[in-house]
């Protein structure tokens, strides 16, 4: 009987000890949470990499305000807000410098081509995204794009042609591939009159035929290989339609 009573007392002490530890843990968690909500608030928004937009423009577009909880900010929401409001923003990364600095790093889009529309010209980036509508004097070094007519163009959106012809997706793949190889700046014109066989002028010396939308990245690598073997005085047509090999026809 005495042994049974002693066992009950030990068990009771253990339960009280476990309960006490649980309460202590909850108090600690609550204290940490309160501390985070009280002390870790946005006091400064630091913008890096933006040359087209001011720091104030980016901060406003982010939707973040001084006093917001920095720990619980959703980076994805900040990125979406900025890219929706500022067309020239290509990539956004969001970081935190505790206790209160939010760091927003911007990578800006570069206009690669332009397309005529209703008395003006839309600039497009590597993703075939419309950046802004400008006059002829402001197209800069972007190459002219023909054979595509924008439908209901809107800054920040990928160009829509109005027909289900795959031109937008094909254009984006070409521009992205050229840009990744460092070749986009040497393109002087793109003709998309035929979605099945777009062409572009390169270095003002070559007309490049791509054929249908297959193995685009590989075709552009073939182009690079062909160009490396040609004399700088040569010109002509480079046909990449056949993925088994490129064909060069001198002028």
Q: Domains for the chain: give ranges and CATH numbers.
A: 44-108 (3.10.20.310), 113-250 (3.40.50)
Dig out the tokens for 153 from the structure.
């163009």
pTM over 0.85, yes/no? no
Rounded to the nearest 10°, the torsion over CA 192, 238, 228, 176 is: 20
pLDDT-based confidence at 166, cuts 50/70/90?
confident
Q: How far is CA 44 from CA 19, 33, 39, in A?
A: 42, 21, 13
* Phi, psi angle pair for 236, to nearest 5°: 155, -155
Q: Which of 1-15, 38-52, 127-141 has the lowest mean pLDDT?
A: 1-15
The three state secondary structure string of 64-85 is: CCCCCECCCCCHHHHHHHHHHH
Residues 6+ apart with CB under 8 A from 182: none
pLDDT tens-digit map of 87-120: 999 999 999 998 999 999 999 999 999 999 988 9
Picking from 42, 82, 86, 45, the residue whose alpha carbon sits closest to that of residue 66 is: 42
Q: Give me the residue label for tokens 């843990």.
A: 25
């Amino acid at each position: 009987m005495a042994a049974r009573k002693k066992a009950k007392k030990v068990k009771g002490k253990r339960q009280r000890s476990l309960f006490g530890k649980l309460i202590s843990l909850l108090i600690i968690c609550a204290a940490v949470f309160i501390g985070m909500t009280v002390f870790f608030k946005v006091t400064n928004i630091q913008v890096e990499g933006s040359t087209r937009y001011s720091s104030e423009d980016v901060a406003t577009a982010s939707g973040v305000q001084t006093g917001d909880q920095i720990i619980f900010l959703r980076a994805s929401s900040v990125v979406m807000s900025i890219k929706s409001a500022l067309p020239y923003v290509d990539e956004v990364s969001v970081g935190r410098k505790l206790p209160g600095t939010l760091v927003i790093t911007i990578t800006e889009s570069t206009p690669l081509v332009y397309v005529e529309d209703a008395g003006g010209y839309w600039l497009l980036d590597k993703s075939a995204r419309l950046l802004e509508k400008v006059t002829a004097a402001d197209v800069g070094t972007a190459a002219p794009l023909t054979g595509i007519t924008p439908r209901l163009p809107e800054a920040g959106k990928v160009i829509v042609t109005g027909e289900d012809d795959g031109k937008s997706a094909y254009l984006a793949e070409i521009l992205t591939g050229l840009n990744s190889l460092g070749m986009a700046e040497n393109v002087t014109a793109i003709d998309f009159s035929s979605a099945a066989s777009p062409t572009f002028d390169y270095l003002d010396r070559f007309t490049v035929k791509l054929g249908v939308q297959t193995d685009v990245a590989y075709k552009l690598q073939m182009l690079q290989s062909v160009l490396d073997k040609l004399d700088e005085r040569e010109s002509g047509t480079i046909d990449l339609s056949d993925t088994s090999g490129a064909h060069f026809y001198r002028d």
